[in-house]
Amino acid sequence: MSMIIHVDVVSAEESIFSGAAEFVVLPGEAGELGVYPRHMPLMTRIKPGTVRVKMPDQAQEELIFVAGGILEVQPDLVTVLADTAIRGRDLDEAKALDAKRQAEEAMQNKTSELEYARAQAELAEAIAQLAAIARLRKIGHGH
């Protein structure tokens, strides 16, 4: 029997993924973070990027875009509390490109530090979504 860990990815709106996994890879603040069963307890922020879940007996990984959030790891449970989470197959390249363009314009037309910081965060999120779409295309899930 292969060792498995339970993974839950939830956003404020809904549960995006719940199931068994052999491992999960997430965009940690200091770089990619791999979590296997019996990992030591951990709690950390995650950055915008792709959560990759390797499920038992399935060749393709489940890809979930997250706009950031919190990761909690227990030896037999991984919980991702995402600010926003979108299954890879539901990502929309046109929307992400539009969001990137709007964020870049907002950064040029900034009227306050707060607006600039918000636009910077929106730009980072759009770029991470586009990277997730590119990764999906590379592994053959593309539209």
24 contacts 78 by C-beta, under 8 angstroms: yes
Q: Which of 80, 102, 31, 89 is nearest to 61 (CA)?
A: 89
- Return the half-sphere exposure (C-beta side, CA atoms, 13 A cut-off) of residue 101: 6
How confident is the model at residue 33, as a pLDDT?
94
Cα gap 47→42, rounded to integer Å = 16
How confident is the model at residue 5, as a pLDDT?
94
Cα gap 51→27, rounded to integer Å = 7
Measured CA to CA in angstroms, residue 142 lies from 24, 48, 125, 135 at distances of 21, 20, 20, 9
Cα gap 137→143, rounded to integer Å = 8
Measured CA to CA in angstroms, residue 85 lies from 33, 59, 67, 96, 114 at distances of 18, 22, 7, 14, 24
Whole-structure pTM value? 0.72
How confident is the model at residue 73, as a pLDDT?
95
How confident is the model at residue 143, as a pLDDT?
42
How confident is the model at residue 2, as a pLDDT?
58
Q: What is the dihedral of CA 7, 28, 85, 51, to 10 degrees?
A: -60
Q: Which domains does the chain have, with CATH numbers?
A: 5-88 (2.60.15.10), 92-138 (1.20.5)
Residue ranges in the chain modelled with pLDDT below 70: 1-2, 139-143
How confident is the model at residue 141, as a pLDDT?
47
How confident is the model at residue 18, as a pLDDT?
96
Q: pLDDT tens for residues 54-94?
A: 999 898 899 999 988 999 999 999 999 998 888 887 888 87
